[in-house]
């Protein structure tokens, strides 16, 4: 039997593209799976679109005012019930078979810290291909120092087991993004796999802020905050494990 799976989506003013993404996810969910959406004070029709779906597998978390994708993702992850967690942006498109492949890679590892990153295409606002591989475009790969210096873990490509969630939450204040935090913790305490199959169309468009390059000062500060918090969390986890042995 497949393990119960939670898809966690964070939204904010996503009405332009969210309907297509919802359809691509719900068509793949099993009867016991769930899609949890945390909305961060949207002022467009995002909530109306979400509420228009009569599907018991869809849960909507509203009345949030984080104004932060990191805090919004933390909030939705805190409500996940499944043994396998899959992150989702509001504006991408999942390709058929994505969840089957995630089950194939993670169902046997749900008792340990395990994370996978799946490849995909980069497309524009209308779905035209800009790059055939996220992996190639971002030069993804393992390496704690590599990903502290220049993160290649992309949130919408990640799926992982609950033991990783247990050590990753709560997110420390001022970490740059949730995806690098999850990816590097998985490297430290478990296993990471890069899956070359393309299972997503990763949409790049004018409303997307993922590609805004921070200043040099911001980059240095982010790396320092990330490194410091990784060290503190690692010490806390190792001390806890030592006390429980």
Asked if 8 contacts 76 with a C-beta cutoff of 8 angstroms, the reply is yes
pLDDT band at 25, cuts 50/70/90?
A: very high
Q: Residue 69: its pLDDT value, please? A: 95
User: What pairs with residue 58 in β-bridges?
Assistant: 35
The stretch 102-131 carries a mean pLDDT of 96
Across the chain, what does the average pLDDT equal?
Answer: 94
Can you state the angle between helices 69-78 and 178-189, rounded to 10 degrees? Answer: 60
Asked if 21 contacts 92 with a C-beta cutoff of 8 angstroms, the reply is yes
Structural domain boundaries enclosing 126: 5-244
The CATH code of the domain that includes 34 is 3.90.550.10
Q: Residue 210: its pLDDT value, please? A: 53
Is the predicted pLDDT of residue 114 greater than 70, yes or no? yes
Q: Residue 245: its pLDDT value, please? A: 63
pTM: 0.94
Q: Give me the residue label for tokens 């899959």.
A: 86
**CA 203 to centroid of chain Cα atoms:** 15
Domain count, the chain: 1
Asked if 12 contacts 79 with a C-beta cutoff of 8 angstroms, the reply is no
Tokens of 20: 């297509």
**N- to C-terminal Cα separation, the chain:** 31
3-state secondary structure (DSSP) of residue 139: coil
Of 112 and 174, more confident: 112
């Amino acid at each position: 039997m497949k393990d119960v799976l939670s898809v966690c989506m964070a939204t904010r003013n996503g009405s332009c593209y969210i309907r297509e993404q919802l359809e691509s996810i719900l068509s793949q969910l099993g009867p016991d799976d769930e899609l949890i959406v945390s909305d961060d004070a949207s002022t467009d029709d995002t909530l109306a679109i979400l509420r228009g779906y009569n599907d018991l597998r869809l849960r909507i978390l509203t009345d949030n005012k984080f104004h932060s994708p990191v805090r919004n993702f933390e909030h939705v992850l805190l409500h996940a019930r499944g043994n396998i967690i899959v992150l989702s942006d509001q504006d991408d498109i999942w390709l058929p078979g994505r969840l089957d492949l995630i089950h194939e890679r993670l169902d046997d590892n749900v008792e340990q810290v395990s994370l996978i990153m799946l490849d995909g295409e980069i497309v524009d606002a209308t779905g035209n291909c800009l790059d055939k591989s996220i992996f190639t475009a971002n030069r993804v790969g393992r390496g704690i120092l590599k990903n502290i210096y220049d993160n290649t873990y992309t949130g919408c490509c990640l799926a992982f087991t609950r033991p990783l969630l247990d050590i990753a939450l709560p997110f420390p204040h001022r970490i740059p993004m949730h995806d690098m935090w999850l990816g590097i913790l998985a490297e430290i305490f478990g296993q990471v796999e890069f899956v070359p199959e393309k299972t997503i169309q990763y949409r790049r468009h004018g409303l997307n802020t993922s590609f805004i390059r921070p200043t040099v000062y911001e980059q240095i500060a982010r790396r320092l905050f990330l490194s410091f918090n990784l060290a503190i969390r690692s010490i806390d986890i190792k001390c806890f494990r030592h006390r429980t042995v």
